[in-house]
């Protein structure tokens, strides 16, 4: 197990940080979050043409860079820090990994190069209007007729689902229950029998959509009825990566709170000289370092494909859920009245913290997932 | 380091051990041989109980000693603190007089720093030492003194000048603990143990040649001692040369020496909260299936694992031999959170049984001992509040606390009332 980043990884982080400071400063975030799509093709193309980020962890055979999840975690941490408005988490993390885990060789070769280049944007549709993060709860069905699959049902909370070119959809074979019968499908964005609606989101930097399927034509990915394993794996990887994105955002908040406390003068002294403020900042650092350690550990566990990586990923997501939001709350408090204004940037990260807190399962959900994997399985982590 | 140098050192220590090592010697006799030969501290200078050996070759000596089961020099308890402090600040005469009998185990030590009126603010010590007729006369009270009841010598921090700011008026002495002016009383803690002592100094005498470092330079010396105290591992983890099996007088005496040194720390594992017992207890009580308790256990596991990974991350970035510095404060504060959370979860798991102690309580009283020992973690070795100050000032570079006492003569500074004085 590795507990520090290599020189190359640190340099990679530096390159990304400079790139996002240039390309995604708060005014750009504010402009993009007001658009319906929530992201911009031109910036998206730059990101992929200059840095090839969508293929960081994808094998070279499919056009990727062939690095691993530690490097992908670094990308996400820096994107979270910059609050980048782009369909990266939906396309490069969720959809790409679903294809890598669940599709057959020919399908990977057909689909991945477009996703890696960024020319195609895909979204992963699992969750339904009941908001249950357990894939076994999926009700959308796929019926086969004349050698073709057609989907019917409703998906919701689909990240970038309204703007993606392709939808990767989890559905079940008729008559199946729980994890049995779960299958993955690809649906073209312009397919007939599909209605996509952008939802009004609390976090304007992460767009969500509702998608109604009424006989939309779909192509099966992998084997029918065998998606439970691949989708569980995809979700655990995504939880680990989301945790990394979240600690990146939390660190940015923590730094802004510290900068402001050093700058702001009341009672003739910097606010940062008050012990109440120093102890709060110390606690924020401690909590964030704990969450970062868990997020890094999870990325490494995923990268090494350790048998208990889903438990570590859940641990990291639970920790990040609590810490990101708490950091955002403290950051608003430290800013005082100005922190509650629209003009101040803190609320942008606060809203991302709130939506990320719940996305893919909240802290309680992930702590229970961790307990089931580690404790009930009798294999306690050391 | 060349292979031939390694082989030469190996041959030399082997020959010496073959001639001198005898497990039926008494412990001090054996260590006298070890110390006078220089093999007990081989990297020290040849003029000072050592052989001037390159540190890279020291492991060969350890290896050969381990091979025959030879007992090493005495380092347990406060002995190592005395050794390190004398190496850094002792005069040549002090080093020659004290290091030898300390390494042989003839001298044991205690540390007379903390006082009832100065805990976090150690430099505010009010125990005084006054020069009278060529000898230092010490008066005052020290507290939290491990091993004072059997120590031969004490490392004493005392005020010798009241007309300068607090850090500049302290001096560091070696004081003979076996004299009428010193009274040692065990200090009973809330968990029933008496791991520490109170030490009362009433006209206790110190020979003038036992001042360490400069007069008024005691704070720098004490800081060195403290640095070694913090970098020292868990004192309850000291182990005899060989766990069982080894027969001979020297082993019996070493086991006894270690038992005396570790006796005060028997409750230290409980002080840290015993996260290792949480799941076993949750299963044996069935509380593992109680959704509320289960959620609290999960929170504890998240915290405990993250704490462990944070400590590993902090150490992974260190150069060999480099200390943790202010990051150590972060690690310590986290350990304090873990211990408190674990005590809470043990209470939830135990339910009504958490009201019991001793043989009537779960795990023969261990759970009860956790509950009444954990409060020590956030105080001992620097309170949580002091750790937060260190994190804020030295990691986050926030403004330092304003001091009301640092730049004034100590005589004028507001102090705690001390019973029996005015």
Asked whether the beta carbons of residue B302 and residue A318 sit closer than 8 angstroms, the reply is: yes
Q: Is residue B93 part of a domain?
A: yes
Asked whether the beta carbons of residue B388 and residue A258 sit closer than 8 angstroms, the reply is: no
Query: What is the count of structural domains for chain B?
Result: 3
CA-angle at B86, arms to B84 and B108, nearest 5°: 80
Q: How far is B387 from chain A (nearest CA, A)?
A: 9
| Strand-pair category, A122-125 with A166-172 | parallel
Report the chain A residue with the minimal C-alpha distance to residue B385: A279
Which class would CATH give A123-225? Answer: mainly beta
Asked if residue B45 and residue B164 are part of one domain, the reply reads no
Q: List all residues 6 or more positions away from A228 whose beta carbon is below 8 Å from its beta carbon.
A: A135, A136, A179, A180, A182
Provide, as residue numbers in chain B, all residues whose Cβ is less than 8 Å from the Cβ of A254: none
Asked whether the beta carbons of residue A282 and residue B334 sit closer than 8 angstroms, the reply is: no
pLDDT tens digit sequence for B108-121? 999 999 999 888 89
Structural contact between residues A91 and A82, judged by C-beta atoms closer than 8 angstroms: no
CA distances from A155 to A120, A199, B379 (A): 21, 12, 54
What single DSSP character describes residue A94? Answer: I
CA dist A297 and A299 (Å) reads: 6
Closest CA to A191 of A167, A175, A225, A207: A167
In angstroms, how far is the first alpha carbon of chain A from the final one? 12
B418 contacts chain A (CB < 8 A): no
Structural contact between residues B140 and B112, judged by C-beta atoms closer than 8 angstroms: no
Q: Is residue B412 part of a domain?
A: no
Provide, as residue numbers in chain A, all residues whose Cβ is less than 8 Å from the Cβ of B392: 278-279, 281-282
Q: Is A126 buried (19+), middle (13-18) or exposed (0-12) by CB count in 10 A? A: buried
Both structure tokens of A298: 């999870």
Q: Is residue B204 part of a domain?
A: yes
pLDDT tens digit sequence for B71-106? 999 987 789 999 999 999 999 999 999 999 999 999
Asked if residue B349 and residue B209 are part of one domain, the reply reads no
Buried b (16+ CB within 10 A) or exposed e, B68-105: ebbbbbbbbbbbbbbbbbbeebbeeebbebbbbbbbbb
Asked if residue B365 and residue B314 are part of one domain, the reply reads yes
CA dist A307 and A295 (Å) reads: 17
Structural contact between residues B181 and B130, judged by C-beta atoms closer than 8 angstroms: no
Q: Is residue B146 part of a domain?
A: yes
Provide, as residue numbers in chain B, all residues whose Cβ is less than 8 Å from the Cβ of A379: none
Looking at the DSSP bridge assignments, the partners of residue B173 are B156, B211
Asked if residue B212 and residue B106 are part of one domain, the reply reads yes
Instruction: Please check whether the domain covering A7-119 is classified as CATH 1.10.540.10.
Output: yes
B56 contacts chain A (CB < 8 A): no
Report the mean per-residue pLDDT for chain B.
92
Asked if residue B353 and residue B315 are part of one domain, the reply reads yes
Asked if residue B60 and residue B128 are part of one domain, the reply reads no
Provide, as residue numbers in chain B, all residues whose Cβ is less than 8 Å from the Cβ of A269: 399
Report the chain B residue with the minimal C-alpha distance to residue A254: B396
Asked if residue B137 and residue B199 are part of one domain, the reply reads yes
Asked if residue B374 and residue B302 are part of one domain, the reply reads yes
B322 contacts chain A (CB < 8 A): no
Closest CA to A254 of A317, A354, A343, A329: A329
Q: Where are the domains of chain A?
A: 7-119, 123-225, 229-376
DSSP secondary structure letters along A142-197: EEEETTEEEEEEEEEEEETTTT-SEEEEEEE-TT--TTTTEEEEEEETT-TTEEEE
CA dist B169 and B220 (Å) reads: 11
Bin A305: left if φ > 0, else alpha if -120 < ψ < 50, else beta.
left
- Tokens 């998240």 correspond to what residue? B302
Q: Is residue B36 part of a domain?
A: yes
- Which fold, A229-376? Butyryl-CoA Dehydrogenase, subunit A; domain 3 (1.20.140)
The 3-state DSSP composition of chain A as helix, strand, coil percent (nearest 5) reads 55, 15, 30
Asked whether the beta carbons of residue B305 and residue A289 sit closer than 8 angstroms, the reply is: no
DSSP secondary structure letters along B132-163: ETTEEEEEEEE-S-TTTTT-SEEEEEEE--SS
Q: Is residue B210 part of a domain?
A: yes
Q: List all residues 6 or more positions away from B38 whose beta carbon is below 8 Å from its beta carbon.
A: B44, B46, B49, B50, B51
Identify the residue among A292, A293, A373 best suited for mutation to test binding to B, counting B beta carbons within 10 A and taking the highest: A293
Asked whether the beta carbons of residue B295 and residue A273 sit closer than 8 angstroms, the reply is: no
pTM: 0.90
Q: The domain that contains B219 carries what CATH number? A: 2.40.110.10
Q: How many CB atoms lie within 10 A of CB A96?
A: 29
Q: Is residue B98 part of a domain?
A: yes
Asked whether the beta carbons of residue A283 and residue B388 sit closer than 8 angstroms, the reply is: yes
Asked whether the beta carbons of residue A318 and residue B295 sit closer than 8 angstroms, the reply is: no
A375: nearest CB among B279, B309, B312: B279
Buried b (16+ CB within 10 A) or exposed e, B329-343: bbbbbbbbbbbbbbb
What's the domain range around B286?
A: 267-382
Q: Is B410 buried (19+), middle (13-18) or exposed (0-12) by CB count in 10 A? A: buried
Asked whether the beta carbons of residue A3 and residue B393 sit closer than 8 angstroms, the reply is: no
3-state secondary structure of B332: helix
Asked whether the beta carbons of residue B294 and residue A371 sit closer than 8 angstroms, the reply is: yes
CA distances from A198 to B215, B267, B421 (A): 77, 60, 77
Return the pLDDT at B235: 62
Identify the residue among B301, B312, B314, B326 best suited for mutation to test binding to A, counting A beta carbons within 10 A and taking the highest: B301
Provide, as residue numbers in chain A, all residues whose Cβ is less than 8 Å from the Cβ of B279: 375, 380
Provide, as residue numbers in chain A, all residues whose Cβ is less than 8 Å from the Cβ of B309: 3, 293-294, 296-297
Q: How far is A333 from chain B (nearest CA, A)?
A: 18
Bin B274: left if φ > 0, else alpha if -120 < ψ < 50, else beta.
left
Asked if residue B87 and residue B25 are part of one domain, the reply reads no
CA distances from A159 to A67, A196, B152, B229 (A): 25, 12, 72, 54
pLDDT tens digit sequence for A285-331? 999 999 999 999 999 999 999 999 999 999 999 999 999 999 999 99
Q: How far is B380 from chain A (nearest CA, A)?
A: 19
Asked if residue B244 and residue B217 are part of one domain, the reply reads no
The low-confidence residues of chain B, meaning pLDDT below 70, are 1, 230-245, 418-422
A293: nearest CB among B306, B317, B399: B306
Provide, as residue numbers in chain A, all residues whose Cβ is less than 8 Å from the Cβ of B287: none
CA-angle at A72, arms to A68 and A73, nearest 5°: 115
Q: How far is B418 from chain A (nearest CA, A)?
A: 28
Closest CA to A216 of A240, A196, A197, A191: A191
What single DSSP character describes residue B375? Answer: G
Q: List all residues 6 or more positions away from A299 whose beta carbon is below 8 Å from its beta carbon.
A: A69, A70, A72, A73, A240, A241, A244
Looking at the DSSP bridge assignments, the partners of residue A143 are A150
**Residue pairs between chains A and B whose CB atoms are closer than 8 Å:** 106
Asked if residue B189 and residue B318 are part of one domain, the reply reads no
Asked whether the beta carbons of residue A285 and residue B395 sit closer than 8 angstroms, the reply is: yes
Q: Is residue B390 part of a domain?
A: no
Asked if residue B210 and residue B149 are part of one domain, the reply reads yes
Closest CA to B151 of B118, B194, B109: B109
Radius of gyration of chain A (CA): 21
Q: List all residues 6 or more positions away from B3 whose beta carbon is below 8 Å from its beta carbon.
A: none
Would you tell me which residues 326-365 of chain B have a C-beta closer than 8 angstroms to some C-beta of chain A? 330, 333-334, 337
Q: What is the ipTM of this complex?
A: 0.95
User: Would you give per-residue pLDDT tens digits along chain A (382 residues)?
Assistant: 689 999 999 999 999 999 999 999 999 999 999 999 999 998 898 889 999 999 999 999 999 999 999 999 999 999 999 999 999 999 999 999 999 999 999 999 999 999 999 999 999 999 999 999 999 999 999 999 988 999 999 999 999 999 999 999 999 999 999 999 999 999 999 999 999 999 999 999 999 999 999 999 999 999 999 999 999 999 999 999 999 999 999 999 999 999 999 999 999 999 999 999 999 999 999 999 999 999 999 999 999 999 999 999 999 999 999 999 999 999 999 999 999 999 999 999 999 999 999 999 999 999 999 999 988 875 554 4
């Amino acid at each position: 197990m590795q507990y520090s980043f290599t020189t190359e990884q640190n340099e990679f982080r530096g390159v990304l940080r400079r790139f996002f400071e240039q390309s995604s400063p708060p005014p750009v975030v504010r402009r993009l979050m007001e658009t319906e799509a929530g992201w911009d093709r031109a910036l998206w193309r730059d990101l992929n043409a200059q840095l090839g980020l969508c293929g960081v962890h994808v094998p070279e055979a499919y056009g990727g860079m062939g690095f691993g999840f530690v490097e992908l975690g670094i990308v996400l941490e820096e994107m979270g820090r910059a609050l980048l408005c782009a369909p990266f988490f939906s396309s490069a993390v969720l959809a790409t990994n679903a294809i890598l885990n669940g599709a057959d060789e020919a399908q990977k070769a057909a689909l991945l190069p477009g996703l890696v280049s960024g020319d195609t944007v895909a979204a992963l549709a699992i969750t339904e209007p009941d908001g249950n993060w357990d894939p076994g709860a999926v009700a959308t069905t796929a019926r086969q007729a004349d050698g073709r699959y057609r989907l019917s049902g409703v998906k919701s909370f689909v990240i970038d689902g309204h703007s993606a070119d392709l939808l990767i959809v989890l559905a079940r074979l008729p008559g199946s229950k729980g994890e049995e019968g779960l299958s993955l499908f690809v649906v073209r964005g312009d397919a007939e029998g599909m209605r996509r609606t952008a939802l009004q989101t609390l976090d304007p930097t992460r767009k969500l959509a509702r998608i109604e399927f009424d006989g939309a034509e779909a192509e099966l990915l992998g084997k029918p009825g065998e998606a439970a394993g691949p989708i569980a794996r995809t979700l655990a990887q995504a939880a680990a990566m989301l945790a990394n994105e979240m600690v990146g955002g939390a660190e940015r908040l923590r730094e802004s709170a510290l900068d402001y406390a050093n700058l702001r003068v009341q009672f003739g002294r910097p606010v940062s000289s008050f012990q109440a403020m120093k102890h709060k900042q110390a606690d924020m650092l401690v909590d964030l370092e704990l969450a970062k350690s868990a997020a890094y550990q999870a990325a490494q566990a995923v990268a090494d494909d350790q048998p208990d990586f889903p438990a570590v990923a859940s641990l990291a997501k639970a920790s990040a859920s609590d810490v990101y939001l708490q950091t955002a709350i403290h950051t608003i408090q430290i800013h005082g009245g100005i922190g509650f204004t629209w003009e101040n940037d803190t609320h942008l990260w606060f809203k991302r913290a709130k939506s990320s807190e719940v996305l893919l399962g909240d802290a309680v959900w992930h702590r229970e997932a961790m307990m089931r994997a580690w404790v009930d399985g009798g294999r306690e982590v050391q | 380091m060349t292979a031939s140098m390694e082989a030469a050192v190996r041959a030399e220590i082997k020959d010496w051990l073959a001639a001198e090592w005898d497990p039926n010697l008494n412990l001090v006799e054996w260590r006298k041989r070890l110390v006078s030969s220089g093999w007990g501290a081989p990297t020290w200078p040849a003029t000072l109980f050592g052989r001037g050996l390159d540190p890279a070759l020291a492991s060969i000596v350890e290896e050969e000693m381990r091979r025959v089961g030879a007992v090493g020099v005495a380092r347990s308890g406060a002995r190592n603190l005395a050794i390190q402090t004398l190496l850094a600040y002792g005069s040549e005469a002090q080093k020659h007089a004290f290091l030898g009998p300390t390494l042989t185990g003839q001298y044991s030590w205690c540390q007379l720093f903390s006082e009832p009126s100065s805990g976090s603010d150690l430099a505010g010590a009010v125990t005084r030492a006054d020069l009278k007729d060529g000898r230092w006369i010490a008066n005052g009270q020290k507290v939290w003194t491990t091993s004072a009841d059997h120590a031969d010598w004490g490392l004493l921090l005392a005020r010798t000048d009241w007309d300068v700011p607090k850090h500049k008026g302290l001096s560091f002495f070696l004081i003979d603990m076996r004299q009428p002016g010193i009274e040692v009383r065990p200090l009973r803690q809330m968990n029933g143990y008496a791991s520490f002592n109170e030490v009362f100094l009433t006209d206790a005498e110190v020979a003038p040649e036992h001042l360490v470092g400069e007069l008024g330079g005691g704070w720098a010396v004490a800081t060195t001692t403290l640095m070694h105290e913090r970098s020292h591992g868990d004192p309850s983890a000291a182990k005899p040369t060989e766990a069982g099996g080894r027969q001979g007088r020297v082993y019996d005496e070493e086991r006894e020496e270690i038992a005396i040194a570790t006796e005060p720390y028997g409750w230290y594992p409980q002080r840290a909260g015993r996260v290792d017992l949480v799941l076993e207890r949750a299963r044996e009580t069935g509380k593992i299936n109680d959704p509320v308790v289960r959620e609290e256990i999960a929170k504890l596991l998240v915290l405990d694992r993250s704490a462990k990974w944070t400590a590993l991350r902090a150490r992974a970035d260190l150069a060999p031999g480099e200390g943790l510095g202010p990051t150590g404060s972060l690690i310590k504060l986290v350990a304090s959170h873990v211990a408190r959370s674990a005590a809470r979860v043990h209470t939830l798991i135990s339910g009504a049984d958490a009201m019991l102690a001793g043989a009537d309580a779960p795990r023969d009283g261990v759970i009860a001992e956790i509950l009444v020992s954990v409060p020590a973690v956030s105080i001992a070795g620097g309170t949580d509040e002091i750790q937060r100050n260190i994190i804020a000032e030295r990691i986050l570079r926030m403004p330092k606390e304003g001091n009301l006492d640092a730049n004034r003569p100590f005589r004028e500074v507001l102090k705690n009332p001390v019973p029996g004085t005015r």
